Amino acid sequence: MSSSPKIWLSSPHMGPNELKYVQDAFATNWIAPLGPHVDGFEKDLQEFTGAAHAAVLSSGTAAIHLALVILGVKPGDLVLCQSMTFSASANPIAYLGATPVFIDSEKETWNMCPQALEEGILACEAGKVSGKKQKPAAIIPVHLYGMPAKMDEIMALSKKYGIPVVEDAAEALGSTYKGKACGTFGDMGVLSFNGNKIITTSGGGALLSDTEWMINKARFLATQARDEAPNYQHSHIGYNYRMSNVLAGIGRGQMEVLPERVEQRRSNHAFYKKALGDLSGISFLEEPEGLHSNRWLSCILVDPENTGGITRENIRKFLWEDNIESRPLWKPMHLQPVFQDAPYFGGRVAEELFDNGLCLPSGSNLTEVDLERVVERVRDLGT
């Protein structure tokens, strides 16, 4: 292994004020899953995204789980989910005993293909998926690597067939689609503040919605579903999914630097594109007109037929030997052993992205020296 300093794929990047908020939580003894930072962080998120209501939670996964519970997803239901994603988009479907129906991506955004989605909806309704005619209970599109999915088309299908949307914007805080924030299109939107995301609270998530009762219900369910009574009284099964006031303090500090973090990530992408864009067989995901990506991760596609035989894996291993972390794109869920029996609609777009795609180091804290090292290493292999 090389002695060069480690370059991570995406590591936490604190701003000047996070620690002050945490110290304030200690000074005021608000060391609880509620308090002024929780309220403040929720307000910051509402103001930034334009969502009318927000609840911060213990993780993005918890937010997806609660969203599906709130929509009434139950055992035997079918939930349409983008196949090309992190497993956390799909796992909550299984928590509820429902069946995920995976949908392929399209090439312009790498996200849920509207045609394949409609095919999936029609097949569910015709009884071709489960053996009985079923209206799907929800649609889960994802804005992968910060690139917005085709929300006009997806929301039009949601409306046409009357199926609610849980929008997985875990990777897309700071991205916009036609000027509107990702996470504010669906009936509910999900954010994540895991350690590798564009901003982090070390672990955490949020649920956004314009529908007040949904967020009120999320808060109720996330706090063990306690009925209003002086004693502990429960008429629903609850969860312990709220965010700590200490971590919400980190979130408030991170919100102050979020616009800067988006610019830093976008500038990484521009740097890579300028330095590698001329290499034969290496391509980047362009930003379609009207879509604005936070470029959470900068990714390349490697076409071995045009690189002189060099593959994605060759590049990944060559970077690793120099202590540089890179990762293949998400392995589609319909190819995962745990979901091998799940229905799937579409072609081979997601599969080909997985075969040839590589995420390059993308942290907002990378220096120009770091970026140069990555670029030189990739170019060395190519020549």
Query: Which residues lie near ligand PLP (CB under 6 A)?
Result: 59-61, 85-86, 88-89, 142, 168, 170-171, 192, 194, 205
In whole angstroms, how close is the CB of 372 to ligand PLP at the nearest point? 28
In whole angstroms, how close is the CB of 319 to ligand PLP at the nearest point? 22
User: CA 353 to CA 85: how far, in whole Å?
Assistant: 11
Of 59 and 307, nearer to ligand PLP (C-beta) is 59
Q: What would you measure as the largest C-alpha separation in the chain, in angstroms?
A: 73
In whole angstroms, how close is the CB of 91 to ligand PLP at the nearest point? 9
User: CA 90 to CA 2: how far, in whole Å?
Assistant: 37
In whole angstroms, how close is the CB of 36 to ligand PLP at the nearest point? 23
The encoded tokens of residue 272 equal 């890579």
Strand order in the sheet with 180-181: 180-181, 176-177, 291-292
Kindly tell me the sign of the dihedral angle through the C-alpha atoms of 146, 287, 84, 329. negative
Whether residue 132 lies in the annotated active site: no
Of 7 and 169, nearer to ligand PLP (C-beta) is 169
From first CA to last CA, the distance across the chain in angstroms is 22
Query: Which residues pair with residue 81 across a beta bridge?
Result: 102, 140
Of 42 and 168, nearer to ligand PLP (C-beta) is 168
Of 79 and 310, nearer to ligand PLP (C-beta) is 79
In whole angstroms, how close is the CB of 60 to ligand PLP at the nearest point? 3
Catalytic residue among 150, 180, 197, 273: 197
E strand intervals along the chain: 53-57, 78-82, 99-103, 138-140, 166-168, 176-177, 180-181, 188-192, 205-209, 282-284, 291-292, 298-302, 327-328, 344-345, 357-360
Label the pairing between strands 205-209 and 53-57: antiparallel
Of 42 and 134, nearer to ligand PLP (C-beta) is 42
Active site positions, annotated: 197
